Structure 1
Amino acid sequence: MNPAQQAKEIYRDKYSTISRYVDILSTKGIDWGLIGPRERDRLWDRHVLNSAALADLIPEGAHVVDVGSGAGLPGIPLAVLRPDLDITLLEPLLRRHAFLTETVDDLGLEGRVHPLRGRAEDCDKTFDVVTCRAVANVTKLLRWCTPLFYPHGRLIALKGSSVDQELADASRLLESSRLEASVFQVRAHPLAEVTQALVLEPLR
């Protein structure tokens, strides 16, 4: 079963919407420089399913901020899959913010998905969940994002093989911030590639 078929199984009646998003990424996303041309053949697995794998880590009805949202990853795939979520797509760069605004409108997600231009460290709102993908190492994420979810929420970051070293480097800051870290191996579909998710939460 190929990644598009896997996505069809998990998105069900929302598949046409997520398929439209993939079309946007493969055209405008590449034309605008938000997605590399070599990614065109990996949009379903490396971007959509990779993002959707976080869905089970997010509580029902959560208010989510996707920091450094870029092309809307992981925020838009999560928003399409989970209509119960209210998602802010936080992006500092004007061109990317314009892309997000147009894409949200095109997909009919306005009303519960909110593109917001700005940096995490300048945002004065708090959320139940912070998501991010390829934004920064753990130390920087802690400095930028902790105020966005502390003391009652969580940060969920898509991470690669460097996560253990990043956590070691940030151990003192984690301790002083009274945060605990967990690393989960998650999949959007039983046949999908594994996604590694770092979850940071206040100590209970």
Structure 2
Amino acid sequence: MLIGLTGSIGSGKTQVANLMRDLGARVIDADIISRELTLPGHEGWKQIREQFGDDVLDSGNRLDRKKMAERVFNDPSAKKRLEAILHPLVFQEEKKLYEKLIASDPSSLVVIDAALLIESGNHVNMDQVVLVHSPKELAIQRVMARNGWPREKVIERLNSQMPFEEKSKFADFIIHNDGTLEELQSNTLATFRSIAKLAKQ
């Protein structure tokens, strides 16, 4: 079974992915795939360089992720062009990894950990979609502490993402992360057991 796991910045999505891994799920991280695809010489890197030029590369010819992020954050058309390059390549790699995992163990519960699962349209390829949600203020505090960003930057980033109310329309399960770690573990376990039961049907 293929499970899509998503959530806005500061929601605790990665923490839930790690908890699911501990419970036996095989986790595919879309962000890691994206980083690998944009290493010098790789297909994503080639297409980005062709589309955006050398000014988004650093002195070592590596993709300057900070510069690229600023570029697409302030330019919706640039964001669309970048996504048109990366999303199909990431989907292709995810599919390969999923097929490899299922070939070795057909009963595997495979989790795609992806921040843009719904925005990219990849949620339609999932058997189940799990959305992690935290109250806005709690998410802001988490990101400020983790990334060292000023409050305004975190709010700006949160406001640029699809609202929870919209995302929830596409979710089969919602894990609320607004309490203690023990509560998050309990919520994740309950969701994981429900999905495992569905997988056996």
TM-score (norm 2): 0.31
Q: Would you tell me which structure has more helix in proportion to its own residues?
A: 2
Which protein, 1 or 2, shows the higher relative CO under an 8 Å CA cutoff with sep ≥ 6? Answer: 2
Larger Rg: 2
